Amino acid sequence: MRVGIAGAGAWGTALAHAACRAGHEVGLWAHRRETAEAIARTGESPYLPGIKFPAAVAATTDIAETAACDLLLLVTPAQHLRATCAAFAPHWRPGTPAVICAKGIEQGSGELLGDIVAATLPGVPWLVLSGPTFAREVAEERPSAATVAAHDATLAADVAAGLATRRFRLYSSTDPVGVQIGGAVKNVVAIAAGVVEGRKLGDNARAALITRGLAEIGRLAAALGAEPRTLMGLAGLGDLTLTCSAMQSRNFSLGAALGAGRGLDEILGERTSVAEGVWTARSVATLARSRGVDMPICFAVEAVLHGGADLGATIEALLARPYVAE
């Protein structure tokens, strides 16, 4: 089939490689003309240099051309998803499923990405693809696994089977809410884990933070009607473990820089990639408070990033919290 990919960043590039290996023709839409021109000129993405595209990938800035497909992957950053869907809506072919491949919660509205797709692309069947996947490793065909979730079990299974290869294993799920929460909130926890690294607080502290972070993710997911077992899978525990354990993670490395004493504006100013956890922290905190869910780690990250809270004092406040039953 023909697969359209909206978003030519690192993850969109990796998914283009994966879709080609699964036997499909790929149309890769770039928001910026210079990105599409660079791909046409060099045969590789400026976001993943050194990995040549197969001939079955064609980069373009033409939305209508990209939307003329059998399956469309939405891989733009979470905070730009609404605008991307609105731009693609007039060109969407009836019956073509949308696969959300971004991770985050929209600022302001506090809406999950599936809700945004449902509102901006009414009637379009949508799914979520999420899991412990660094883009370069997927593009290089190193063994990876992720979850494809939809309310329709048959749709989830069909799309997973259609995109999977031996080295890109995809498991289907009927819990798109849990998969979205796992993918979004782990970025916030990863910033906290990076702070632990930057402050040299030790491996014990990082393991404790990951564990308590997973508990927070589970509480919010449950409040939104997700299945608890989803958070024990690839889109929950798997993604959280990966993102909290390696400098390849944009959120973990940002937290490490914060922990080492650098300012947020300085860190963001020298980056071209998006650390979704920075923007998701505020949305997660707002959503949690509206549902009465206690998420002290996420609240602490929000306070440091957006509330001017002192990092050292925030860490001490977390360590001084009352002991409770696990």
What domains can be seen in the chain, in order of their start residue?
2-174 (3.40.50.720), 177-319 (1.10.1040.10)
Q: Which two tokens stand for residue 309?
A: 């809270």
Residue 118's H or E segment, with its range, is helix 113-120
Rounded to an integer, what distance in angstroms lies between the CA atom of residue 273 and that of residue 242? 18
Predicted local confidence at residue 284, as pLDDT: 96
Q: Which two tokens stand for residue 308?
A: 């001017």
Predicted local confidence at residue 256, as pLDDT: 97
Q: Report the C-alpha dihedral over residues 24, 29, 33, 37, rounded to 10 degrees.
A: -10
Q: What is the pLDDT of residues 137-167, one digit of tens each?
A: 999 999 999 999 999 999 999 999 999 999 9
Predicted local confidence at residue 292, as pLDDT: 96
Mean pLDDT of 53-80: 95
Predicted local confidence at residue 324, as pLDDT: 86
Q: What percent of the chain is predicted at pLDDT more than 70?
A: 100
**Can you tell me whether residue 312 is helix, strand or coil?**
helix
In one-letter notation, the amino acid at residue 145 is A
Question: Which residues touch 170 (CB under 8 Å, ≥6 apart)?
Answer: 129, 145, 146, 147, 148, 160, 161, 163, 164
Predicted local confidence at residue 326, as pLDDT: 83
Mean pLDDT of 12-21: 97
Residue 186 is a catalytic residue = yes
Angle at 301 between CA 228 and CA 314, to 5 degrees: 120
Predicted local confidence at residue 206, as pLDDT: 96
Sheet arrangement for strand 144-149: 57-60, 25-29, 2-6, 71-74, 98-100, 126-130, 144-149, 168-173
Do 231 and 178 touch, CB atoms closer than 8 A? yes
Predicted local confidence at residue 273, as pLDDT: 74
Do 169 and 144 touch, CB atoms closer than 8 A? yes
Average pLDDT, the chain: 95
Confidence of residue 104 (pLDDT cuts 50, 70, 90): very high
Do 146 and 234 touch, CB atoms closer than 8 A? yes
Predicted local confidence at residue 270, as pLDDT: 87
Predicted local confidence at residue 56, as pLDDT: 86
Rounded to an integer, what distance in angstroms lies between the CA atom of residue 301 and that of residue 315? 10
Q: Which two tokens stand for residue 52?
A: 């040549």
44: which DSSP letter? B
Confidence of residue 81 (pLDDT cuts 50, 70, 90): very high
Where does residue 95 fall: left (phi above 0), alpha (psi -120 to 50 degrees), or beta otherwise?
A: left
Lowest model confidence (mean pLDDT) among 13-22, 72-81, 175-184, 273-282? 273-282
Q: What is the pLDDT of residues 251-309, one digit of tens each?
A: 999 999 999 999 999 999 888 777 889 999 999 999 999 999 999 999 999 999 999 99
Predicted local confidence at residue 252, as pLDDT: 97
Mean pLDDT of 206-215: 96
| Phi then psi dihedrals of residue 76, to 5 deg | -75, 160
Predicted local confidence at residue 94, as pLDDT: 94
Do 176 and 201 touch, CB atoms closer than 8 A? no
Mean pLDDT of 46-50: 94
Give the closest residue to 304 by CA, choosing from 312, 293, 316, 295: 312
For the chain, how big is the Rg over CA atoms in Å? 19
What pTM does this model have? 0.94
Annotated catalytic residue, options 52, 103, 186, 200: 186
In one-letter notation, the amino acid at residue 86 is A
Greater confidence (225 vs 273) lies with 225
Rounded to an integer, what distance in angstroms lies between the CA atom of residue 248 and that of residue 301? 20
